[in-house]
Structure 1
Amino acid sequence: MPPNHNQRRAESAMVDRDTDTVGQGALIEFAAVAEWIEAATSRLAKIALLSQYFAQLQDDPLYYAVHYFAGQGFPQRERRLAPIGELTLVTALSGLSGIEPAKLNAHLKRLGDLAEVAALVLVRQSEPILTLEDVAIGLEQLAKTQGRRKLSWVIRLLEPATSVEAKYLTRLLPSGKRIGRSANVTVWIGGRRGSSSTNDLDDASLKEMVEQAEKIARLSPVDREYMPTLGRQEYKPTPGYVAATADLALETRAKAIADIISECEKNRVIGAGFHSARAQAGASATKNGNFEFERSTNVSLSMTARTPDGTSSGYFLRSHYDIARLDTKRIASEAIRKAREGVNARTVEPGQYTVVLEPQAVADLVGNLGFMFNARSAEEGRSVLSAPGGKTRLGEKMFDEKINIYSDPWHPELPGSQSAQGGIPAQKMYLVRNGVVENLIYNRFWAKQKERQPTPGPVNTILESSSRPATLEEMIRSTERGILVSRFWYIRSTDPRTASSTGLTRDGVWLIEKGKIAYPIGNLRFNQSMTQMLGPENVEMIGTPERVGSSEGGGAGASLLPALKIKVFNFTSRSEAV
């Protein structure tokens, strides 16, 4: 069982510690072992170091050390956290070091790890006095404390710490931000390929990575599809990076989540979800002189609301590269509304129905449709775009005439990557225009085989109508009898040659009768060809595209997709799941 600490010990332990009483469980020993483990290059060496260290500890110090090496301030079963915003940590480091926050943030961008910044700026000449028990006391108080008082406890923990102690203390104080750096290399030796990667970027680790790739290449068979690396290319940057998203503080997200929790309580539903923000940057270089660098941001919120009796649920997800464009209030209100309006669901028989698909449902089904247009698969007879005799359906009207599908790297709502497959500079390109298949995607190898130019794309998927967009309300009003679907899940491909998939509705399904929502219904399983769904005369109405990602992707990616009214959609069985 975890040790208990009273308030008196919490107030005094880290200010009155006698250096002679540190003994077993000194934080400096923990930090030293952590440094050795970080420097060790083999898994066995790391295990040996841990085993030797743990063997020296007993009782409480061993209990603490095990959890701290697992990156846990508390046992997982306790479900306790001591969350510290990055701003709080930077403020504490600034106060203790006398260095301005702006300079600390510059160090953070250079080093990529706030713990490394702490080790750099907190240089102590005094003897180490902290113990693992001191850390436990501090974390316990942080878990209980709210608001500005957290800062005083962070300072109390870090003030007596040596440089290396400060490094590992900072890693135990979760700021909500994780920074990772990695490198990878691919080498070719006589047409043989070898790749290796590492997240240790010191000179020795990078050298070892290259040597490992070379070793793999020498052992590999000749790659019959080898292509020389690209020479210099010209890339046009895309506008997918916003500093405010990259620097989003934990406190900002916490405020949005607190408002959502309040709305859930007010509406008597149970809410759960994920609010995540990501910034990434990457660079690549080739032996033949090409170099590329780009960065991007993404912030998303997904939320599920469920009634207390568990009989109804609602879901909503949106993401954006600009935090200012993420409407967290709308996401919460839509999820809550769907849960409240889905109670007392009735049963309907499966079969063919007219459906109105909200943008989320469309994203779940066809969010990656733009990446289906692979020329090689089509020409080898493995695709829905294949035609008899090794031909393809390029130029055919496979889709409804209102359908346009294209990729645009510089779309202001959905910036894509500046480089397409194989590092080829991206371009705006249509895959389907007015229902007609206009382009197939050739990679460099297959283009050479077919004596064609490689295709620069796609890097995102945008589906638009050739006619006036319709609203969701107009789609419902025009439906005599049909089904409104919020989202799909557990979607799996069943036959790539017909672009067929199966899956289930979830988190909000309603029957439409005589142009109005009649009542909620239970979930249904579907089996449907996506090209037949979007085929000629089957798409009755198309809405205005929205930025939306698949629910199984959790907001990591997005497309621009509209609501759709589909004339015939195949439901094959009922599902008991909520």
Structure 2
Amino acid sequence: MSAELRVAARVVELVRELAGSSAEAEVMVRHDAEALTRFANSSIHQNVASATTGVRLRLHAEGRTTGGSTTVVDADGLRALVERTLAAARVSPVDAAWPGLAPPAGLHPSSPEVGSFDEMTARADPALRAARVRDFVDAAGGLETAGYCRTVYVSAAFANTAGQAVEGRSAEAAMDGIARLDGADGVARLAASRLSAIDGAQLGARAAAKARAAGTPAELPPGHYEVVLEPDAVKDLLENLATFGFNGKSWAQRQSFAELGKQQFDPSVTIVDEPLGSRGEPAAGLPFDDEGTPRRSLVLVRDGVTRAVTHDRTSAAQAGAESTGHASPYSRSWGPQAGNLRLEAAGLPSSSTGGTGSVAESARPMVARVARGLLITDLWYTRVLDPKSLVVTGLTRNGVWLIEDGEIVSAVGNLRFTQSYPQALGPGRVLGIGAESVLLPESWGRARYAAPALHLAGWNITGNASG
């Protein structure tokens, strides 16, 4: 039994002692260790690391629900947590939507065993991350560079008063860097479950090649353009689909585009949430969610047909379904969200960086089929205008090029777009999917997305972003 599971079990005992046998409680104990090496002006300027053990308690007593947390895990700290959470529950409103506790259940058979993660990544020191930064900077060939390399280690356990008790560990690494030349930026990113899979030289060479190819950009008028989206841009589609489209709370409230059983996407589109990893890539997260529900692979779209949305226990109760293992500390408020989406590639998925050239290797055949259109590296500052149809506005970033007769003819200045993501992926709109996926880190959190390049029939460009 891990130290985290012993703490969780002790909190459950305290709840029974102080609140009685009728109270329901769930306890999540997490030890998070994150380290970051950041660089700018082609030099490391910051090494930071944090390690925290936190305890979260959710308590349901006399029809009322409340939660509390602490980082004080000694006997007095745990007792104080239960006492103040119980006091808060007594003055909280009645919770008519309380879905009950997750019943006892073992982890999914494909879940990684406790400890089956990369120790080097979990214990990586600054020198290991700095070596990858040095390789990135050297490979950029004198261009100004900036970015980060990070490692994350999590050890956690869950227990509740219904008898559920599970534990697990995970490790993750990521690198994100840019190279700049005369105001033109190129980017390269990669996520992995092993730091050894992060090749700083390959990423630096790719970022530099894109920066060199993005000089002297032309401006284009607004219009409806055929596009090839590289994996970094496709990641934004997956992130917004997970947050707003496949969100079980939004779906139950009819604020999502998702219609189960309907052909909403091109037949070439299959989207799967894979929290346990796949095809030799270990999981980046835990094999259970914050309600103790075991996680598993979930097919959201198969051959263009929407098959499922993600649920925690609350949204599942509202929808008359079962939890899919997507509870989080904020899922009752913001809805349950997938954090490991994979858009299935046309070939065998991999965690490739996409090569070292200015165009992702799997995107080259798509570029050759475009009569006139755009090659887009990255999307950023995206904001949802209409959640129901998932119309998103945002900007391009880190490289855009004009394609004519299958050839890249010039760099293009950054552009603003306004586009429904489901519509862009709709029947007949996906003209090609890359042969490989690139595993990419989320911008602000620890989710990751496996994204291939995409060739789409149309993308609404609504303006320029000069300056």
Do the structures match in fold with TM over 0.5?
yes
Q: What displacement does 1:381 show?
A: 2.5
Aligned to 2:343: 463
Shift of 1:449: 4.8
Distance (whole Å) between structure 2 residues aligned to residue 468 and residue 204 of structure 1? 53
Q: Does 1:293 align with 2:167?
A: yes
Partner of residue 433, structure 2: 542
Alignment of 1:516-535 (within 5 A): 516-535=407-426
Q: In the alignment, is residue 201 of structure 1 matched against residue 73 of structure 2?
A: yes
For 2:126 and 2:157, the matched residues in 1 are separated by 28
Partner SS for 1:179: strand
**Structure 1 unmatched ranges of 5 or more:** 1-110, 114-173, 386-392
Shift in CA distance, 448/260, structure 1 to aligned 2, threshold 3 Å:
closer
| Structure 1 residue 448: Cα displacement | 3.9
Q: Does residue 1:395 correspond to 2:268, yes or no? A: no
> Any conservation in 1 of the 2:138–2:204 contact (CA below 8 Å)?
no
Checking the alignment, whether the CA contact within 8 Å between 1:360 and 1:548 is kept in structure 2 is no
Match of 2:133 in 1: 257
What secondary structure, in the 3-state scheme, does the structure 2 residue paired with 1:344 have?
coil
Q: 2:295 aligns with which of 426, 429, 438?
A: 426
Q: How far apart, in 1, do the equivalents of 2:127 and 2:324 lie? A: 44
Which of structures 1 and 2 has the larger relative contact order (alpha carbons within 8 angstroms, sep 6+)? 2
Once the two structures are superposed, residues 112-144 of structure 1 have per-residue CA deviations (whole angstroms, 9 ceiling, x without a partner) of: 99xxxxxxxxxxxxxxxxxxxxxxxxxxxxxxx
- Report the Cα distance in structure 2 between the residues aligned to 1:249 and 1:451, rounded to whole angstroms: 48
Note the C-alpha offset of 1:468: 9.2
Give the SS at the match of 1:225.
coil
**Conservation of the 8 A alpha-carbon contact between 1:488 and 1:505:** yes
Distance 1:184 1:298, change over 3 A: same
Q: 1:420 offset after TM fit, Å?
A: 4.6
Aligned partner of 1:81 in structure 2 is: none
Counterpart of 1:503, as a letter, is: G
Q: Quick one: which amino acid aligns to residue 183 of structure 1?
A: V
Residue 254 of structure 1 aligns with an amino acid whose one-letter code is A
- Counterparts in 2 of 1:510 and 1:425: CA distance versus 1, 3 Å: same
Does residue 511 of the first structure (1) align with residue 402 of the second (2)?
yes
Please name the residue that 1:563 is paired with.
Answer: 453
Instruction: Identify the residue that residue 67 of structure 1 maps to in structure 2.
Output: none
- Rounded Cα–Cα distance in structure 1 between residues aligned with 2:152 and 2:348: 35
Aligned equivalents of 1:340, 1:451: Cα separation in 2: 54
Q: Determine if contact 1:370/1:407 at 8 Å carries over to the other structure.
A: no
Give 1:258 deviation, angstroms: 2.3
- Residues 498-525 of structure 1 show CA distances to partners (whole Å, capped at 9, x for unaligned) of 0111110011111111111111110001
Whether the aligned pair in 1 keeps the contact of 2:231 and 2:437 (CA below 8 Å) is yes
Aligned residues: 395
Tell me the equivalent position of 2:281: 413
Structure 2 equivalent of residue 381 of structure 1: 254
Distance in 2 of aligned mates of 1:487 and 1:557? 18
Match of 2:99 in 1: 227
Counterparts in 2 of 1:336 and 1:410: CA distance versus 1, 3 Å: closer
Aligned position for 1:438:
307
Distance of 1:490 and 1:566 partners within structure 2 = 21
Corresponding residue of 1:186: 58
Q: Which amino acid aligns with 1:407?
A: D
1:347 aligns with 2:222: no
Q: Secondary structure at the match of 2:281?
A: coil
Q: CA deviation at 1:337?
A: 1.0
SS at match of 2:219: coil
Which residue identity lines up with residue 449 of structure 2 in the other structure?
S
CA contact (8 A) 2:265 2:422 kept: yes
Deviation at 1:379, TM superposition (A): 4.4
| Deviation for aligned residue 1:373 | 2.3
The change in CA–CA distance for 1:362 and 1:221 in structure 2 (over 3 A counts) is same
Deviation, structure 1 residue 402:
0.5
- In the other structure, the counterpart of 1:241 is 117
Q: What SS is found at the alignment partner of 2:139?
A: helix
The change in CA–CA distance for 1:450 and 1:365 in structure 2 (over 3 A counts) is: closer
User: Structure 1 residues 175 and 484, CA, compared in 2 at 3 Å: closer, same or farther?
Assistant: closer
Shift in alpha-carbon separation, 1:536–1:295, aligned structure 2, 3 A: same
1:488–1:449 CA distance, 2 compared to 1 (3 A): closer
In structure 2, distance between residues paired with 1:197 and 1:516: 57
**Where does residue 318 of structure 1 map in the other structure?**
190
Q: Distance in 2 between matches of 1:299 and 1:468?
A: 22
Equivalent residue for 1:275, pick from 144, 149, 172: 149
Structure 1 contact 463–561 (Cα < 8 Å) conserved = yes
The root-mean-square deviation of aligned C-alpha atoms, in Å, is 2.5
- CA distance in structure 2 between the aligned counterparts of 1:187 and 1:551, rounded to whole angstroms: 31
Secondary structure of 1:383's counterpart equals coil
Please show how residues 99-178 of structure 1 align to structure 2 within 5 Å: 176-178=48-50
Q: Is the 8 A contact 1:414 1:559 kept in 2?
A: no
The question of whether the paired residues in 1 share the 8 Å contact of 2:159 and 2:292 is answered with no
Task: Give, in whole Å, the separation in 2 of the partners of 1:573 and 1:437.
Answer: 32
- Relative distance call for 1:450 and 1:480 in structure 2 (3 A) is closer
Q: Greater CA radius of gyration, 1 or 2?
A: 1
Name the SS for the 2:227 alignment partner. strand
Task: Output the CA distance in 2 between the equivalents of 1:378 and 1:463.
Answer: 21
Give the structure 1 partner of residue 207 of structure 2.
335
1-structure distance, mates of 2:466, 2:169: 44
Query: 1:314–1:507: 8 Å Cα contact kept in structure 2?
Result: yes
Distance in 1 (alpha carbons) for counterparts of 2:304 and 2:290: 25
Q: Return the offset for 1:407.
A: 2.2
Paired residues of 1:549 and 1:559 also in contact (CA < 8 A) = yes
Cα shift readout 1:484-508 (whole Å, capped 9, x = no counterpart): 1110110111111101111100111
Superposition map of 1:89-108 within 5 A: none
C-alpha separation in 2, matches of 1:435 and 1:464? 11
Unmatched segments (≥5 aa) in structure 2: 1-30, 34-45, 327-337, 350-360
Q: What SS does structure 1 have at the residue aligned with 2:272?
A: strand
Residue identity opposite 2:78 in structure 1: L
One-letter code aligned to 2:300: L
Q: String of CA shifts for 1:413-448, please: whole Å, max 9, x gaps.
A: 262542257432222231111111122344434444
Contact 1:359 1:561 in 2 (8 A): yes
